[in-house]
Amino acid sequence: MADTFRSAAALLSHRSPVDPVVCLRPHLIKVRARRMLDAFPGDVLYAVKCNDAPEVLRALWEGGVRHYDTASIGEIRAVRALLPEARCHFMHPVKSVGAIAEAYYEHGVRRFVFDHADELAKIVAATGCATDLELFVRLAVPGEGALLTLTGKFGVGVEEASSLVRAARTYAREVGITFHVGSQCVDTGAFARAIGLAAEVVRRAGPVDHLDVGGGFPAVYKGDEPRFEAFVATIVEAVTRHGLSCRLQCEPGRALVADGASVLTRIELRRGESLYLNDGVYGNLAELKWVGPQFPLRLVRPGRTVDHRLVGFDLFGPTCDSIDSMPGPHWLPADADDGDWVEVGMMGAYSNALKTRFNGFESDRMAFLEDAGWYLKDPSRPEAPRAALHARAA
């Protein structure tokens, strides 16, 4: 069981850690879950791949999440073992026969995604031509507006999707269409455009029972990203405008858990405006490379002052690998130096879930923090740029 502290400063004062620490705030995850459940007019599935830590899954359950987007048999096993009443949906378009059969017969999974006729045949055969299947066709949509596009690997065009929807009706109790606009999407219009493509599939193939608008809802890293409610308004308007009559579902991951954790990492060396940390791309900080310098950071120096002048640093991880770099500018106090601890905010998504044991660097340290999350935008100063909040002392 992870220890609980009032803040990151209290953790450093009482424990004097050596390795990086994932600082989890379950109370923030619960609040976020309740807010998103209240806002969305359908089922909200948590994308487990985003962060599958048991502590995160429990917090989401306590926040009211009952449906889980599971993309592997391993995720299904883990969720069902931890949360026996949870409903898992196998949302990966390509699965092994064994995984399909186990999901169906041992874990009660009925909802499966596919984007190829051979995968449909595989699902039907592995489940013994079951009559209670819920089959969703993955539709390819443009990735404009997303920081990380997901085009190319999964999904089919309107014509093929229409054919697959018609084929699925032969076997399924219920049929749906699903798509994904890309990760960290900041354009609400991307969902309207994708729903327009789904409506064209319905026009050609006939009505469907479900429309899954996928994930991609952004976390609020910089402070200017559209809120979840804005995306919901766009989705509802587009569904109404196209005359779609079906049950909605979405698959948020990042937006549900990003603000529920931070990562504490120590500076091992300062070289000019480069900081070498004891955590990096192969550890908990992969997103600082792939998403880029959008994350709020601060120095944590219990009992000592922090320079309020900010400098844009490049960051490097601990491994003997040049890929382990996180180009800046990452804004931190100008006096950041060896031995200081950096707290990276908004790290609940794709942080500890992506860490590896590469090069012998491994840390499983986790702690619970009770604070309100210093990295959340200050509601009393809505006009303040987030960079102005980074240098606050713990």
Let me know: does 384 contact 40? Beta carbons within 8 Å: no
Query: For the residues 74-91, what does the mean pLDDT come to?
Result: 98
pLDDT at position 1, please?
66
Whether the pLDDT of residue 383 is over 80: the answer is no
Spell out the residues 6+ positions from residue 185 whose beta carbon is closer than 8 angstroms to its own.
145, 146, 147, 191, 216, 217, 218
Q: Which CATH superfamily is domain 4-23+258-390 in?
A: Lyase, Ornithine Decarboxylase; Chain A, domain 1 (2.40.37.10)
Whether the pLDDT of residue 205 is over 60: the answer is yes
pLDDT tens, residue by residue, 153-173: 899 999 999 999 999 999 999
Domain chopping of the chain, boundaries: 4-23+258-390, 26-256
φ/ψ of residue 391, rounded to 5: -90, 5
Which of 68-77, 149-158, 238-247 shows the lowest per-residue confidence on average (mean pLDDT)? 149-158
**168 SS3 class:** helix
pLDDT tens, residue by residue, 24-68: 999 999 999 999 999 999 999 999 999 999 999 999 999 999 999
Q: Which CATH superfamily is domain 26-256 in?
A: Alanine racemase (3.20.20.10)
φ/ψ of residue 321, rounded to 5: -150, 125
Q: Report the mean per-residue pLDDT for the chain.
A: 93
- pTM, full prediction: 0.92
Whether the pLDDT of residue 339 is over 50: the answer is yes
**68: part of which helix (H) or strand (E)?**
strand 67-70
pLDDT at position 53, please?
96
Sequence-distant contacts of 162-167: CB under 8 A, at least 24 apart: 162/201, 162/204, 162/205, 163/205, 164/114, 164/115, 164/116, 164/117, 164/120, 164/137, 165/137, 165/201, 165/205, 165/206, 165/208, 166/205, 166/206, 167/117, 167/120
Query: For the residues 60-87, what does the mean pLDDT come to?
Result: 98
pLDDT at position 147, please?
84
Of 164, 246, 154, 234, nearest in space to 201 by CA: 164
Whether the pLDDT of residue 387 is over 80: the answer is no
pLDDT tens, residue by residue, 105-148: 999 999 999 999 999 999 999 999 999 999 999 999 998 888 87
